[in-house]
Amino acid sequence: MTSPVVVVTGANGLVGSHVVSALSERGASVRAVVRRPGTAPDLPGVEEHVGDFADPGFAGSVVVGADALVTTVHPMGDDRDSQRRVGVDGTLTIADAAATSGVARHVHVSTAAVYDRSPGTGDVAEDGDLVGDDGGDYAVVKRDVDAALDRAAGTTRVLVRPPAILGPGGSSVWNALRPARIRDDEGQRHAVPDASFAWVHVDDLAALVADLASGAIAAGDDPEAGPVAGGCTPVNAAGEPATQRDYLGAVTSALGLEPVWDDEPAWTGQIVADRARGWGWSPKVTLDEALEELKAGLRQ
C-alpha cells in the first residue's frame, strides 16, 4: 500500500508539529509547510517546504499529487482584518489549490470557540448554535472560515473543533502564554470556579487529525460513522469534563499564587465529542495527567 502524501500548514506550530509527528508515526509522507527554513520537524518521511500558503503559486505547487491537506494556521493575537487575511483568505487559497489538484481530503483545525457558550446554553454538539458577530475577533473569523469551507467543493472537508488545547511548548496558549498572563496580571486570576473548562490534549487532537488525513477514518454517507464523502463535516474533539477550578487552580498553585473566585453566571456545559468517538477516536490523556504536565512545566 502506498503511503499517503499529506500537506500540513503551520508545521512548526504547536498543533501542526504534533500532527506532523503523528503522521510520520503512521508512515505518511509529509510536506511540512513553514515560513522559515529549518523549522519543520526533522522526522522520517517529512520534507520541509518553505513558503507562504496564501500565495497561489506556492499553494498550487505544494499540493500537487497530495492525498490530503491539513490546515492549522491562525494568527490568534492579531486584529480581525489580519486574522481574516491569513485565516480566511490564506486558508481558502490553499484549499482551492487542493481542490483544483484533486486532493481527496482537507482536514481543517477549527475551534470550539465558534459555538455559542453563553450561560445556560448547556452541552454543545456539532449542531449547536454558533457565535454571533459580537462573539470576539477570533471566534467570529474562525466561524467564517468554517462557513467558507462548507461552501467549497471538490474535496472531503472535515472541520475539527477542539476547545482549549493543553500541551507543553513555548507557543502553547494554555500551558505557557495564558499562565504568563496569570502570573503578571492579578486581573487574569479571576474565574467562576464551576465554569466549564473544555479541553483536549494536543497529542489526542493530533491523533484524530492524522487519522483523518491519512484515511484511517474512512469517508462515507453517515456523519456519525465518518466524514461525509465530498461534503463538509464538523467534529468536536474534547477530553473529560473539567472546570476553571481545575485549570486556574492548577496554574496558580504551580506559580505560588491565589486564584480569585467570582460568583456570576457562567457556561457549565460540555463540548460533546460523541461523533469523534463514533469515528473510533478516544482521548488517551487524562485530566490529571494533563494538569500535572502543565504544573511541572510551570515549576521549571
Question: Considering only 63-72, 139-148, 196-205, 275-284, which range has the smallest mean pLDDT?
Answer: 139-148
Q: What pLDDT score does 243 carry?
A: 98
Give the 3-state DSSP-derived string for 228-255, with helices as H, strands as E and coil as C. Answer: ECCCEEEEECCCCCCEHHHHHHHHHHHH
Rg (CA), the chain: 19
Q: What pLDDT score does 257 carry?
A: 97
Choice between 224 and 1, residue whose per-residue pLDDT is larger: 224
Indicate whether 152 pLDDT > 70: yes
Q: What pLDDT score does 78 carry?
A: 63
Is it true that domain 5-166+199-238+269-276 has CATH number 3.30.70.250? no
- Asked if 276 contacts 237 with a C-beta cutoff of 8 angstroms, the reply is yes
- Asked if 110 contacts 72 with a C-beta cutoff of 8 angstroms, the reply is no
Instruction: Give the pLDDT band (50/70/90) at residue 286.
Output: very high
Span 59-80, average pLDDT? 87
The Cα 299–Cα 183 span in angstroms is 12
The Cα 78–Cα 252 span in angstroms is 27
Question: In percent, how much of the chain has pLDDT > 90?
Answer: 90
Span 50-60, average pLDDT? 95
Q: What pLDDT score does 89 carry?
A: 83
- Asked if 68 contacts 126 with a C-beta cutoff of 8 angstroms, the reply is no
Indicate whether 109 pLDDT > 90: yes
Please spell the DSSP secondary structure of the chain, one letter per residue: -PPPEEEEETTTSHHHHHHHHHHHHTT-EEEEEESSTT-S---TTEEEEES-TTSHHHHHHHTTT-SEEEE----TTS-HHHHIIIIIIIHHHHHHHHHHTT--EEEEE--GGGB---TT---B-TTSPBP-TTS-HHHHHHHHHHHHHHH--SSEEEEEE-SEEE--STT-IIIIIHHHHHHH-GGGGEE-TTSB--EEEHHHHHHHHHHHHHTSS--BS-TTTSPBTTSEEEEE---S--BHHHHHHHHHHHHT---EE--S------B--HHHHHTT----S-HHHHHHHHHHHHH-
Indicate whether 88 pLDDT > 90: no
β-pair partners for 124 = 271
pLDDT, tens digit, 9 for 90 and up, residues 242-258: 999 999 999 999 999 99
Q: pTM of this prediction?
A: 0.96
Residue 28 to residues 70, 155, 227, Cα–Cα distance (Å): 13, 19, 20
Instruction: Give the pLDDT band (50/70/90) at residue 146.
Output: very high
Q: What pLDDT score does 75 carry?
A: 66
Question: In percent, how much of the chain has pLDDT > 70?
Answer: 98
Q: What is the average pLDDT value for the chain, to the nearest integer?
A: 95
The Cα 239–Cα 284 span in angstroms is 9
Choice between 3 and 79, residue whose per-residue pLDDT is larger: 3
Q: What pLDDT score does 77 carry?
A: 61
Indicate whether 1 pLDDT > 60: no
pLDDT, tens digit, 9 for 90 and up, residues 119-137: 999 999 999 999 999 988 8
